[in-house]
Amino acid sequence: MISGLSHITLIVKDLERTSLFLEKIFDAKQVYSSGDDTFSLSTEKFFLINDLWICIMKGEPLSERTYNHIAFKIQDSEMDKYMSRIKDVGAEIRPERSRVAGEGRSIYFYDFDNHLFELHTGTLDERLARYSQGK
C-alpha cells in the first residue's frame, strides 16, 4: 500500500546553481551532499522542503520544456514574496494559464534545466467544488 510520497529526483547540469535555486525560492535545507562519491548514478544532493525530500543529481538537463510540473502549496498572501524570490534567482516565469474563478492562483516558473514548478494557492477540494459547478 502506498503510504505517501518518498522523494522527487531532478537531473540537473549544475548542482551548486540548483542548490541556490532551491534554497532561495523554497527555503530548502540541504541535508546531504555526496561530494565526489557516487552511491547512485552520479553525484547528488538531498534537500528538505518542509518534510518533502528533494534529490538533485548531476546529469544532462531536459532537452525541452513541457507542462509536466511540480506544484507547491502557498498562501495567497505570499504570492508577492515568492514572485520576488523567483525574480531574484533569475528563473524564467511562465505566463499563468487561463483559469476559472475559484480554483486558486499560480506562479509558474522554470529552473535552469527546464523543470517547471508551480506555486499554487488553491486546494483539491476547492478545485473540485468549483469544477462541479460547471462553466
> Which one of 23, 44, 92, 103 is the catalytic residue?
44
DSSP class per residue in 12-23: ES-HHHHHHHHH
Could you report the per-residue pLDDT of 76-123, keeping only the tens digit for each?
899 999 999 999 999 999 887 766 676 778 899 999 999 999 998 887
Question: What pLDDT, on a 0 to 100 scale, did the predictor assign at position 17?
Answer: 94
Question: For residue 99, which phi and psi values (nearest 5 degrees)?
Answer: -135, 160
Any catalytic annotation for residue 96? no
Distances (CA, A) of 46 to 9, 84, 124: 9, 25, 28
Query: Half-sphere exposure (CA, 13 Å, Cβ side) for 127?
Result: 9
CATH of domain 1-61: 3.10.180.10
**Fold designation for 62-135:** 2,3-Dihydroxybiphenyl 1,2-Dioxygenase; domain 1 (3.10.180)
Q: CATH 3.10.180.10: which residues of the chain?
A: 1-61, 62-135
- Bridge pairing between strands 116-120 and 69-73: parallel
